[in-house]
Amino acid sequence: MTLHPRTMSVHASGTASTASTASSAQSAQEADSRVLDRSIGSFLRELRRLSEEQVERILVHQHSKGIRFGEAAVDLKLASSEDVLWALSQQFHYPYASNEGAQFDPELVTAIDPFGEQAEAFREIRSRLMMDVLAMDQPRRALTVVSPDVGDGKSFFAANMAIAFSQFGGRTLLVDADMRTPRQHGLFRVPNGVGLSSILAGRSDADVIHHVQDLPSLYVLPVGTVPPNPLELMQRSAFGLLMHELKTKFDHVIVDTPAAALGADARVLASKCGAALVIGRRGKTRMKPIQALLSALDGSGTRLAGVMLNDY
Ligand SMILES: Nc1ncnc2c1ncn2[C@@H]1O[C@H](COP(=O)(O)OP(=O)(O)OP(=O)(O)O)[C@@H](O)[C@H]1O
Ligand SMILES: [Mg+2]
């Protein structure tokens, strides 16, 4: 089940190559400006709990061979290449889950393998969105991920997209608004006792947003108890007010939704959030339901961020 970058394409306005170049230059600049406040050695020391004697051996080896600390540690089998990659990612404020970060679900490919093909595809889409629907000069929008059917990949996509945005540096919130079959709390292993449904029902607004361990800029608002009346809850003015507040508190807000086939939730959510990215599944999604979804969104004042084909 791989997600191929070439098939995971966003058809949004704007030139793709310009968008991605500008964005990566910007992120490189940001990384440069915050660079190197801790050495690789100190990250590795902490991760591997190296003793003074082990650090000394690494330093001696490093100097005798004229290599870097990380390489020397790997040579002496006191760290793995994966550890060094993790330490580098921390040094450049580019967080991802190390081997120790096994609390992440294997579906969170952008966190587990941030330099892999799939993560690269998510970054490419992030760049395009940031040059278009989610650009700085645009009105603040939350991005809903919508699709016609169950199993098209909305939750997978929303989770990994949120990680990609958080890796860019801005405070990112992933809202699980699939109040029918919520999955984000499971993917990120955050408590799900209270959440969006509790806020909308007026029962709770404290301790509902959880920080994701190992990913410093990422937060998750789970569904909480699955309510019997999800659509009614979303249609309350409380939802609009909540989204307005969340958009002022977070730089990026990504919203997971239930399949359009299950009811009007996705359309209502999209119109209250401002933007929608439509997902279809290659070889499965038919034209008719996609067209129906697009015209429903069109009539709801939602800004269409693009249509993406998920190939898995
Ligand atoms: N590009 C992909 N690569 C690998 N696995 C994928 C991909 N897209 C989806 N999947 C997998 O397919 C399954 C269904 O995906 P997901 O739960 O994201 O669908 P969904 O659209 O959210 O479904 P629902 O409407 O029921 O909420 C998951 O196990 C997910 O990990
Ligand atoms: Mg889902």
Mutate to test the pocket of ligand 1, among 155, 163, 223, 279 (most ligand atoms within 8 A of CB): 155
Query: Which atom, in ligand 1's list, is nearest to the CA of 258?
Result: 25
Residue 154 beta carbon below 6 angstroms from any ligand 1 atom: yes
Do 82 and 112 belong to one domain? no
Question: The domain spanning residue 25 has which CATH number?
Answer: 3.40.50.300
Tokens of 103: 């609390």
Do 72 and 205 belong to one domain? no
Structural domain that includes position 119: 16-29+106-310
Do 63 and 115 belong to one domain? no
Do 49 and 144 belong to one domain? no
Q: Is residue 280 part of a domain?
A: yes
Q: Is residue 232 part of a domain?
A: yes
Q: Is residue 52 part of a domain?
A: yes
Q: Is residue 278 part of a domain?
A: yes
> How far is residue 257's CA from residue 260's CA, in Å, rounded to a whole number?
8
Do 259 and 281 belong to one domain? yes
Do 131 and 82 belong to one domain? no
Return the pLDDT at 191. Answer: 93
Per-residue pLDDT tens over the stretch 134-147: 998 889 999 999 99
User: Which of 227, 97, 74 shows the shortest CA–CA distance to 166?
Assistant: 97
Do 50 and 165 belong to one domain? no
Last residue of a domain, one of 52, 67, 91: 91
Q: Is residue 8 part of a domain?
A: no
In sequence order, what are the residues at sequence separation of 6 or more whose Cβ sits closer than 8 angstroms to the Cβ of residue 60? none
Q: Is residue 51 part of a domain?
A: yes
What separation in Å is there between the alpha carbon of 155 and the centre of ligand 1? 6
Beta partners for residue 57, in sequence order? none
Do 134 and 67 belong to one domain? no
Do 71 and 144 belong to one domain? no
Do 248 and 214 belong to one domain? yes
Q: Is residue 256 part of a domain?
A: yes
Helix H, strand E, coil C: the string for the chain is CCCCCCCCCECCCCCHHHHHHHHHHHHHHHHHHCCCCCCHHHHHHHHHCCCHHHHHHHHHHHHHHCCCHHHHHHHCCCCCHHHHHHHHHHHCCCCCCCHHHCCCCCCCHHHHCCCCHHHHHHHHHHHHHHHCCCCCCCCCCEEEEECCCCCCCHHHHHHHHHHHHHHHCCCEEEEECCCCCCCHHHHHCCCCCCCHHHHHCCCCCCCCCEECCCCCCEEEECCCCCCCCHHHHHHCHHHHHHHHHHHHHCCEEEEECCCHHHCCHHHHHHHHHEEEEEEEECCCCCHHHHHHHHHHHHCCCCEEEEEEEECC
What separation in Å is there between the alpha carbon of 162 and the centre of ligand 2? 14
The answer to whether 155 and 108 have CB atoms below 8 angstroms apart is no
What separation in Å is there between the alpha carbon of 152 and the centre of ligand 1? 6
Residue 1 pLDDT grade (very low, low, confident, very high; cuts 50, 70, 90): very low
pTM: 0.75
Do 305 and 182 belong to one domain? yes
How many C-beta atoms lie closer than 10 Å to residue 91's C-beta? Answer: 19
Whether residue 8 has pLDDT greater than 60 = no
Residue 3 beta carbon below 6 angstroms from any ligand 1 atom: yes
Whether residue 17 has pLDDT greater than 60 = no
Residue 38 pLDDT grade (very low, low, confident, very high; cuts 50, 70, 90): low
Q: From atom 11 of ligand 1, which residue's Cα is the shortest distance away?
A: 153
Q: How many domains does the chain have?
A: 2
Residue 287 beta carbon below 6 angstroms from any ligand 1 atom: no
Do 258 and 161 belong to one domain? yes
Return the pLDDT at 25. Answer: 39
Whether residue 46 has pLDDT greater than 60 = yes
**Which of the ligands is closest to the CA of residue 161?**
1
Whether residue 163 has pLDDT greater than 80 = yes
Choice between 173 and 31, residue whose per-residue pLDDT is larger? 173
